[in-house]
Structure 1
Amino acid sequence: MTESERQERARLLPAWNSARRRLADGPTGESVGARLARLAAEGADAYDLTGWTDVYGDEDGIVGELERRTAAALGTEAAAFFPTGTMAQQAALRCWAERTGSGTVALHPLAHPVRCERDALRRLTGLSVVHPTDAPRLPTAAEVRDAAEPFGTLALELPLREAGFLLPSWDELTATVAAARERDAVVHFDGARIWECATHFGRGLPEIAALADTVYVSFYKSLGGLSGAALAGPEAVVEDAAAWRHRYGGQIFQQWPAALAALVGLERELPRLPEYVAHAKTVAAALREALTESDVPWWLVRPREPHTHQFQVWLPYGVRELTDAGARQAEETGTLLFRRWSEPTGGPPGLAMHEVTVAAAGLTWSAGDVRDAVAEFLGFLPPRSSSRTG
């Protein structure tokens, strides 16, 4: 972290954390002591804390219990805990390359392994990547079926975060998976946020996971854990992946705090995600209404109706002025609507994007509250043209 980044963090965190009202709590809103105290209190409801701490992921300890509960939640034979999702997916895709005899993975160019892992698939595992489509959505069955290059594994990110947390319909997803099977390819789900997909698909997690050969899930995205991930699927594949976890340095001596936080997430947050998804639709609709009535010359809420409890908002301002406006609103009014903005992937200059998350803290917000907060937020921005589009 650079000195300027440290200064910005020191300025923004107090502003965000001082807000009395927010749509979701952030990961940096507590002191270390407060977070530890909360973990101990909540953990007692998720696991017997009178037992011993485990080492190296003892199957009779907290990590083993987390793996069993994860497999049960997804309806798979087994699951293995990993310190990061990056490592979990590299291990999974490497295992499938060995089993299929093909080192080529079909991935969307916006998928996490392509955009966020420093070319790890190629440099660490020796795999190559092909793209069935570059459209800002998951590939269709026709695109998978007609892909010009052969591949052994199709990896689908559910939801596709960079495109606005987008999901296909259930019929589209099943057709795409079937198209991969027609090409004798296996299917892996990058399900970091698969926990909140059940509402959109109208299916339970086991039915969704059953479409794929393996599924990766995150414990800190959506579930509010400290860190960590799991790979779930057939026992033989999970065991192979666990061996690669050890080779990659992921067999950590003590990782029970992260596992305990994940168990809390499975117990407390997972059952509430459908409620968050439903309320995100209310928040997004109110945002659209407020922006339509505003003088902002151009804006986008993407997707129009969220598929999960997260979605994007695009505005024609700079990243710094939007981030500063959100911090000032939090400081001066006690309402935190937006945190840090960023330059959107593939967007033209002069636009900024924010990923909105609706969780427990946001359930008390009415549509009117959202509209008022938007109008208030825009008041902290410099005036713009009065022409409107939406």
Structure 2
Amino acid sequence: MADTNAQVTDEGAAGDDEAWRLRRLTAWRQAGRVLSRIPQDRSLGEQLASLTADAATVTDIALPADIYGDAVVAELEQRVAGLLGTEAAAFFPTGTMAQQVALRCWAARTGDSTVALHPLAHPEMHEGGALGAVSGLRTVHPTSDPRLPTAEEIRDFPEPFGTLMLELPLRDAGFVLPTWEELEAVVAAARERDAVVHFDGARLWECATRFGRGLPEIAALADSVYVSFYKSVGGISGAALAGSASLVEEARVWRHRYGGRLFQQFPAAVAALAGLDRELPNLPAYVAHAKTVAAALAEGFTQAGTGWFRVQPEPPHTHQFQVWLPYGADELTAASVRQAEETGVVLFRRWFTPDTGAPGVAFTEVTVGQAGLEWTADDVRKALAGFLERVPRKG
């Protein structure tokens, strides 16, 4: 581990200070070796050029641009419905809006405004209590363990609920998934209670590998499914809500009421179509290689005598997983930035303090994408050694 004096070069390099944020982004964008490239790694000009190049490959650019959801936006909706095997799909500017609309529709249809979901699910962690504040919904938690609920927990939950929402994978628990058989059993248990099932499938695209099933078979378990276009497939923004034709038609009405009927959305639609073409065929390879990366990290931490660490889950269920270390988030992020600046290698990006506020513990999310397929296990171990050299020694 590096001497504590190394920290003086990063004085003020903490939190969300704008200068520090730009330094982070610059270091990671200019790095030659990364496990995955993210939109922030490209300048505005590069993103515009990419969008222009992609447009001609996914749609007829001689046709008029979209107006209030027709043209290329409608093409995207049809593509998603086809991929998921549903009757219809509707484009939404955000996944937060898509899911609020879906859950509101189900509350009206079931006559029950209670939604059962995990306390680590996105609406509970990242939406500022929007389900209750905006949509008048009430949430209950069948389990607080860092995994999806079991069939027994759903069946024996003491309170009634109209909708069971399952986030696949459960991001804040480490992108964890049940087995296919466990998922089938949980859905069946909800059906026994006359509850409908909604999948938060922001990252559903990469779940097929672990489940050993195609997207239509996975989506068929639920009454509605939300998917994201910027998570996993590299789009600009946007989401889709898929399900029966009647549900999607009702959702379009509520989308307008929530302010989601935008005048033009062709940049997001083009980027989404291009991302589906480019990334969907490669996701199984990313998922497989994530296991190699995670195993090499665990071996490297052990060889370095780091002490306590956690790769969660091990092995990963998708192409994303968490790494936990007993250090502050700021000092680990600073070490990542220094490694990128000094060696051109990015193993980890930003580190975070858990919401529980646990002192001296931080985690980061690791994503394996196209760029990561070039990394061997030895590359990972060497990069980890370089990272740990830049982490201040304790004591």
Shift of 1:345: 4.0
Is residue 22 of structure 2 the alignment partner of residue 10 of structure 1?
A: yes
What are the ranges of 5 or more consecutive residues in structure 1 without an aligned counterpart? 386-390
Choose the corresponding residue for 1:252, options 258, 262, 274.
262
Choose the corresponding residue for 2:175, options 145, 156, 165.
165
Q: Tell me what 1:339 maps to.
A: 349
Superposition map of 1:296-311 within 5 A = 296-311=306-321
Q: Tell me what 1:92 maps to.
A: 102
Residue by residue over 1:339-359, the C-alpha shift from the partner in whole angstroms, topping out at 9 and shown as x without a partner, is 110012446310110000000
Shift of 1:173: 0.3
Q: Tell me what 1:388 maps to.
A: none
Choose the corresponding residue for 1:135, options 131, 140, 145.
145
Q: Counterparts of 1:375 and 1:95 in 2: how far apart (Å)?
A: 51
Choose the corresponding residue for 2:135, options 122, 125, 137.
125
Q: Tell me what 2:59 maps to.
A: 47
Q: Counterparts of 2:239 and 2:280 in 1: how far apart (Å)?
A: 15
Is residue 338 of structure 2 the alignment partner of residue 328 of structure 1?
A: yes
Q: Tell me what 1:65 maps to.
A: 75
Q: Counterparts of 1:14 and 1:159 in 2: how far apart (Å)?
A: 30
Q: Tell me what 1:264 maps to.
A: 274
Shift of 1:49: 1.6
Q: Counterparts of 2:376 and 2:226 in 1: how far apart (Å)?
A: 34
Choose the corresponding residue for 2:323, options 295, 313, 319.
313
Q: Tell me what 1:23 maps to.
A: 35
TM-score (norm 2): 0.95
Residue by residue over 1:262-309, the C-alpha shift from the partner in whole angstroms, topping out at 9 and shown as x without a partner, is 000111111110010001001001001100101212100000100000
Q: Counterparts of 2:359 and 2:147 in 1: how far apart (Å)?
A: 22
Q: Tell me what 1:219 maps to.
A: 229
SS at match of 2:41: coil
Is residue 272 of structure 2 the alignment partner of residue 241 of structure 1?
A: no
Q: Counterparts of 1:34 and 1:112 in 2: how far apart (Å)?
A: 30
Q: Tell me what 1:374 maps to.
A: 384
Tell me if the contact between 1:295 and 1:384 (Cα under 8 Å) persists in the aligned partners: no
Q: How many residues align?
A: 382
Tell me if the contact between 1:89 and 1:216 (Cα under 8 Å) persists in the aligned partners: yes
Q: Counterparts of 1:364 and 1:67 in 2: how far apart (Å)?
A: 34
SS at match of 1:28: helix
Q: Tell me what 1:181 maps to.
A: 191
Shift of 1:383: 2.4
Distance change in 2, residues 1:347/1:203 (3 Å) = farther
Distance change in 2, residues 1:237/1:343 (3 Å) = same
SS at match of 1:168: coil
Q: Tell me what 2:283 maps to.
A: 273
Tell me if the contact between 1:82 and 1:231 (Cα under 8 Å) persists in the aligned partners: yes
Opposite residue 105 of structure 1, the aligned amino acid is: V
Choose the corresponding residue for 1:144, options 131, 141, 154.
154
Residue by residue over 1:361-382, the C-alpha shift from the partner in whole angstroms, topping out at 9 and shown as x without a partner, is 1110000000000011100112
Q: Counterparts of 2:333 and 2:72 in 1: how far apart (Å)?
A: 39
Opposite residue 35 of structure 2, the aligned amino acid is: L
Q: Tell me what 2:375 maps to.
A: 365
Tell me if the contact between 1:79 and 1:231 (Cα under 8 Å) persists in the aligned partners: yes
Residue by residue over 1:15-66, the C-alpha shift from the partner in whole angstroms, topping out at 9 and shown as x without a partner, is 11111000001221122111111111122212222211111101xx100000
SS at match of 1:55: coil
Q: Tell me what 2:10 maps to.
A: none
Shift of 1:384: 4.2
Deviates further, 30-39 or 309-318? 30-39
Tell me if the contact between 2:170 and 2:176 (Cα under 8 Å) persists in the aligned partners: yes
Q: Tell me what 1:104 maps to.
A: 114
SS at match of 2:378: helix
Q: Counterparts of 1:338 and 1:180 in 2: how far apart (Å)?
A: 39
SS at match of 1:269: helix
Tell me if the contact between 2:38 and 2:234 (Cα under 8 Å) persists in the aligned partners: no
Q: Tell me what 2:11 maps to.
A: none
Deviating above 4 A after TM superposition, structure 1's stretches of 4 or more consecutive aligned residues are: none
Tell me if the contact between 1:280 and 1:358 (Cα under 8 Å) persists in the aligned partners: yes
Opposite residue 17 of structure 1, the aligned amino acid is: R
SS at match of 2:236: coil
Q: Counterparts of 1:170 and 1:307 in 2: how far apart (Å)?
A: 12
Is residue 87 of structure 2 the alignment partner of residue 56 of structure 1?
A: no
Q: Counterparts of 1:132 and 1:5 in 2: how far apart (Å)?
A: 39
Opposite residue 22 of structure 1, the aligned amino acid is: V
Tell me if the contact between 2:230 and 2:272 (Cα under 8 Å) persists in the aligned partners: yes
Residue by residue over 1:187-244, the C-alpha shift from the partner in whole angstroms, topping out at 9 and shown as x without a partner, is 0000000000000000000000000000000000000000000000000001101110
Q: Counterparts of 2:392 and 2:125 in 1: how far apart (Å)?
A: 33
Q: Tell me what 1:155 maps to.
A: 165
Q: Tell me what 1:209 maps to.
A: 219
Q: Counterparts of 1:372 and 1:45 in 2: how far apart (Å)?
A: 39
Shift of 1:4: 5.2
Opposite residue 8 of structure 1, the aligned amino acid is: W
Q: Counterparts of 1:379 and 1:144 in 2: how far apart (Å)?
A: 47
**Percent identity at matched positions?**
65
